[in-house]
Structure 1
Amino acid sequence: MIDEIDQALISALMEDSRRSLKALAQISGLSSPSVAERLRRLEERGVLKAYTVEVDPRFFGYQLQAIVRIRPLPGKLQEVERQILAIPEFTECDKVTGEDCFIARLHVRDMEQLDSLLDHLNSCAETNTAIVKKSPVKRRLPPMA
């Protein structure tokens, strides 16, 4: 189970995954070796899966972000999944229930690139695309308590 100290450590790392053991110790009220041990146990249990960095795709020329609902044509589910995996501009993808089988996030430089990438899927799927204007809620954890 996750206790209040673990929750505090996880929250602190979600805010800044580069926090030092010393800083985490100050936040949690534990010693640095105790924090290191807790983090090791959280990693072993699979609670902490990675320490990451967040990069803004716009600095690499990706000015548009799109959400694409993808409905494979009959018998084309695996082919669609292979194509999504092969296109690196798809930065996230969920296989979902309902009429659409996939909901994906795509970063592109411009509308022409968006059209070109979606054209790859036209032979095996129908797509419905929405351009992201703003993301008021960034990826976050649900409440831990």
Structure 2
Amino acid sequence: MAIPNASLGLDEIDQRMLEALARNARISLKELAEVAGLSSPSAAERLRRLEERGVISGFTVDIAPEAIGYPLQAIVRIRPLPGQLHVVERIIQETPEFIECDKVTGDDCFIGRLVVRSMGELDGILDKITERAETNTSMIKATPVKRRLPPLSR
């Protein structure tokens, strides 16, 4: 039995709903209500409150990049040259192959995840950045832990 996480205001019902939505964001309200042990109107109200509180910020679909023509993924650490931080950030934002990027502390300013069709395509993207930043690239071989929910209970 999960212990309610009082600091987040998540009780066991909220946790069950979030876990069900993480497994399948397209779950019907009726099925979600069954998982939570609630009526459909009560589940809908809970869901609305979770959204209002910012616990749920959206519903999404998980697409396999290789299935749509992007067989390669890379992690790129980026350290902008002096005075180039905002320019590099804009380049990253405008490059659709960056499917995720975090601004971080430490030696590098950005850590990004790219999807590409070929090594040549990766080189072309990095060439736009390396005029204004140092990069360090690692190719992704596998993803043993896909994006998942943080622990909801202690």
Give 1:101's aligned residue.
Answer: 109
2:38 pairs with 10, 30, 34, which one? 30
TM-score by length of 1: 0.98
Unaligned segments of structure 2, at least 5 residues: 1-8
TM-score by length of 2: 0.93
- Identity over aligned pairs, percent: 62
State the Cα distance separating 1:59 from its structure 2 match: 2.0
Figure out how many residues of one structure are paired with residues of the other and give that number: 145
Whether 2:10 is the aligned partner of 1:5: answer no
Q: Find the residue that maps to 2:73 and give its secondary structure.
A: strand
State the Cα distance separating 1:60 from its structure 2 match: 1.9
Q: Find the residue that maps to 1:17 and give its secondary structure.
A: coil
Q: Find the residue that maps to 1:136 and give its secondary structure.
A: coil
Whether 2:148 is the aligned partner of 1:143: answer no
* CA-to-aligned-CA distance 1:17-45 (integer Å, 9 cap, x gap): 11111111111110011000000011111
Residues 32-47 of structure 1 mapped to structure 2, 5 A cutoff = 32-47=40-55
2:63 maps to a residue whose letter is V
Give 1:77's aligned residue.
Answer: 85
Unaligned segments of structure 1, at least 5 residues: none
| Aligned alpha-carbon RMSD (Å) | 0.6
Distance 1:74 1:16 in 2: 44
Q: Find the residue that maps to 2:129 and give its secondary structure.
A: coil
Q: Find the residue that maps to 1:120 and give its secondary structure.
A: helix
State the Cα distance separating 1:141 from its structure 2 match: 1.6
